[in-house]
Every structure is written in C-alpha cells, then in structure tokens.
C-alpha cells in the first residue's frame, strides 16, 4: 500500500495492462495446448462412459471438473503472482 | 468442434468466452453468472437439459476454489451450511426430476426457457433497483441506516416463527431460528439450481441476509459453500441422468478461471454502484437471447 502511494497511478495502470497482456498470451498458449492434448485424449473415453456406464460417467465428470478447478486456480494465481498483478488487489 | 456427448457443434473459443465473461462477473460481483452462461449456451444450440447440467458442472469447478478462500477467511458458517444442505439437496433433486419429466414429454426447452426469461427479468430488475438505490444514497446522503438496510423487519418475523426444533448459529449471530426456515431457504435455492442450472446465489444471498438475518460477509461465504454442494450434487445427478457434457464444462471453465482472477483485480478500478447499474443490463440481454431462440423455432446462432 505504501508503494502504491509513491507511484503515479497512471504508471500502475500501464504496468497492470502490460502484465495482463503477457498473462493473456501465456494463458492462450496453454489453452491451445490444452485443447489439442486433453480434449482429444478425453473425448473418446468419456463418450464411451456416457453411452455405456452413465453412473461412472457422473463420478468421472465430477472428479474432472473439481481437479481442473483446483489446478487452474493454482496456475492463474501463479501467473498473477509472477507478473505482479496481485499487488493491485 | 463437435461435442459428441451433447451432439452439438460449437466453437470451443465461444465457450471459453462464455466462461471468461461469467468468471469476470463472479470475481466482480460474487455471483456465479449461471444466469448468463445458460442463455448463451442455449443460443448456440445446446439443448436445454444439457445447458442445465453442463452449467452446474462448470460452476462446481469455479466455486470450489472461491469457497475454500472464504472458509480460510472465516466467512463460512459451516454449521448453518450443513443444516441448509438437507434442504438444498432435496431442492436440487426436485429440480432435476422436473427437468426429467419435461424431457420425457418433450417440453423441456419451452418450459425451462420461459422460466429462465422470467427469472432473468426478476434478477435484472432487482440489480437495477439495488444499484439505483445505492446511487441515490451516495448522491443525497440522506437515507437513514434503517432504510439502507431495508428488510430488517422480515428477518425479525422469521426469527419469531417458533416451530420446533429451534437452532442457534452463534457464528452468524443467530440466537434462535426454526429448522424449517433454514431448510426452506436451502430448498428454494436448490430447486432453482436443479431446474435451471444456476448456482442460486442471486436468490440465496438475499434470503440469507434479509430472511435469516446473516451479516453480509458470512452470507457470501456460506452462500458459496452452498453453491459448491448444490452444483456438485447437481452435476452428479444430472450427469447420471445424461444431462452433462463434461468436455463442454471443462472448456468453459478454462475461461472462467482466468476471468475470476481478472474480475477480482478489476474491482480495484471499476467499483461502485454505477458500474453495477450498467451490469444490470446483462440479465435483460440474457432474457432477449432466450426469447429469440424460443420464438424463432430453432433460432440457433452458429459461432
């Protein structure tokens, strides 16, 4: 908070936008890798479970979304910390 | 890209965009944003029963992290949350059963669609009303504290309802409240979650504050705790009924994770009731999307 007082506000916003763009680029790259790898790998087994073992599919769906929730939160927090965006919170 | 489980072709970037938008809204306002994600998925041609189930699945991933944060801050009344869970689960299952019945008679798009429109109009009006009132408070600085807090008499009347068993929730400052009042709050929000695929926070939050009389910060944390339970249980029960395309939910969640962080950061720069007033337009936009799709037969917009 003391650091923010000494720094002109327009500089803070400029750094914020700059870092945000970097984060967006990094995140987009990771997203593309995610689409090509994870979705292709998961599509067939999940469709098989959906067609043949719906109960198992239900539990798999829940586990996958919870796991991704925890993983992605760690990733985005890591990126925000590395780029200093968290200082503005 | 074809999502074979739901049997629809949707651009994954469109889904990431939906996730991002509702993530920003969640980070900014503390709402799940399901009321906007649902209409946007429906507009892209996703059948309504998949909209309901998939929306709940993506919300599970998003809210679990937020709830954990609020728990660490001590903003969750776990005891109240656990008691309310019983009502929430019954509500979610009732909602899911309603979707199943409607699916069987082929009316799910129509009935859930128009219910969505009604709920969206109510949310938009409430948000606009609440923001306008806050703007007025700032401008005139003349409203009394009692007027700003609003519905205090309602929670007093609910606390006066003495049907046993009576419970105390010291963490929320509740000395005595009927178990049935707590269960009813859980049931109403659970019903909305199960039938519409929304987290129900927009209804549970006002109920916790105005009806049960919780302090706002505890209401937010406890609401998130309930969203996790209702969304997780809703995901499971809807998935078992064949209403969840988890791949779609995973893709949407990638956008939501980033959006939530951006939303939280941006409150530093864009806070204030005028911005909230601007955002109150969004539920109305959602209502228009659903109406367009319902009135124009298929009305699917390909992205």
What residues of A are in contact with residue B16 (Cβ under 8 Å)?
31
Question: What pLDDT, on a 0 to 100 scale, did the predictor assign at position B262?
Answer: 74
Contact A61 B12 (CB under 8 A): no
Contact B61 A85 (CB under 8 A): no
pLDDT band at B54 (very low <50, low <70, confident <90, very high): very high
ipTM of the complex: 0.77
Question: What pLDDT, on a 0 to 100 scale, did the predictor assign at position B268?
Answer: 63
pTM over 0.90: no
Residues B166/B179, Cβ–Cβ less than 8 Å: yes
Q: What is the dihedral of CA B182, B184, B190, B194, to 10 degrees?
A: 160
Calculate what percentage of chain B has a pLDDT beyond 70. Answer: 83
Q: Which of residues 247-286 of B touch A (CB under 8 A)?
A: 247, 249-251, 253-254, 257-258, 260-262, 264-265, 268-269
A81-85, B217-221, B226-230: segment of lowest average pLDDT: A81-85
List, for chain A, all residue ranges whose pLDDT scores fall below the cut of 70: 1-13, 16, 80, 82-89
Q: Which helix (H) or strand (E) holds B176?
A: strand B174-178
pLDDT band at B235 (very low <50, low <70, confident <90, very high): very high
Between B69 and B41, the higher pLDDT residue: B41
**Would you say residue B244 has pLDDT above 90?**
yes
Verify cis geometry, omega within 30 degrees of 0, for the bond prior to B135: no
What residues of A are in contact with residue B12 (Cβ under 8 Å)?
35, 39
Classify burial at A41, counting beta carbons within 10 Å of its beta carbon; exposed 0-12, middle 13-18, buried 19 or more.
Answer: exposed
Question: What pLDDT, on a 0 to 100 scale, did the predictor assign at position A69?
Answer: 85
Burial readout B206-243 (b: 16 or more C-beta within 10 A, e: otherwise): bbbbbbbbbeeebbbbbbbbbbbbbbbbbbbbbbbbbb
Task: Over range B42-51, report the average pLDDT.
Answer: 89
Between A49 and B24, the higher pLDDT residue: A49
**Would you say residue B299 has pLDDT above 60?**
no
For residue B202, what are the CA distances in angstroms to A23, A33, B44, B59, B262?
A: 31, 35, 24, 14, 21
Query: What digits encode the pLDDT tens for the residues B102-157?
Result: 988 888 888 888 888 898 888 788 778 877 777 777 666 555 444 444 455 666 77
**Would you say residue B291 has pLDDT above 60?**
yes
Give the tokens for residue B105: 């008679």
Between B175 and A4, the higher pLDDT residue: B175
The answer to whether residue A59 neighbours chain B at the CB level (below 8 Å) is yes
Contact A89 B268 (CB under 8 A): yes
């Amino acid at each position: 908070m003391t650091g923010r007082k000494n720094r002109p506000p327009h500089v803070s916003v400029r750094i914020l936008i700059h870092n945000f763009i970097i984060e967006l680029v990094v995140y987009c790259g990771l997203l593309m890798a995610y689409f090509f790898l994870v979705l292709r790998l998961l599509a067939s087994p999940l469709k098989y479970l959906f067609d043949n073992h719906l109960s198992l599919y239900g539990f798999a769906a829940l586990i996958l979304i919870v796991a991704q929730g925890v993983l992605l939160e760690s990733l985005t927090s890591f990126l925000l910390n590395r780029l200093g965006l968290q200082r503005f919170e | 890209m074809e999502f074979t489980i739901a049997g629809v072709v949707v651009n994954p970037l469109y889904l990431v965009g939906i996730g991002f938008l509702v993530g920003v809204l969640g980070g900014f306002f503390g709402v799940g944003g399901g009321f906007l994600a649902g209409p946007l998925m429906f507009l892209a041609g996703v059948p309504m029963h998949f909209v309901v189930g998939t929306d709940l699945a993506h919300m599970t991933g998003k809210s679990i992290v937020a709830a954990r944060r609020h728990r660490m801050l001590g903003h969750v009344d776990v005891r109240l949350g656990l008691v309310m869970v019983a009502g929430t689960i019954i509500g979610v299952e009732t909602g899911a059963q309603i979707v199943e019945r409607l699916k069987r008679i082929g009316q799910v798009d129509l009935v859930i669609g128009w219910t969505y429109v009604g709920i969206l109009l109510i949310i938009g009006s409430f948000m606009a009303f609440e923001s306008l009132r806050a703007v007025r408070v700032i401008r005139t600085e003349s409203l009394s504290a009692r007027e700003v807090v609003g519905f205090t008499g309602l929670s007093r009347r609910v606390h006066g309802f003495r049907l046993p068993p009576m419970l105390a929730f010291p963490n929320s400052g509740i000395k005595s409240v009927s178990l049935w009042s707590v269960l009813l709050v859980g049931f109403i929000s659970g019903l909305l979650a199960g039938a519409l695929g929304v987290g129900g926070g927009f209804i549970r939050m006002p109920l916790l504050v105005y009806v049960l009389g919780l302090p706002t910060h505890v209401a937010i944390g406890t609401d998130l705790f309930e969203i996790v339970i209702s969304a997780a249980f809703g995901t499971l029960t809807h998935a078992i009924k064949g209403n969840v395309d988890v791949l779609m939910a995973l893709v949407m969640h990638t956008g939501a994770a980033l959006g939530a962080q951006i939303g939280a950061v941006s409150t530093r720069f864009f806070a204030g009731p005028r911005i909230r007033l601007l955002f109150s337009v969004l539920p109305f936009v959602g209502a228009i999307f659903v109406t367009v799709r319902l009135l124009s037969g298929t009305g699917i917009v390909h992205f």
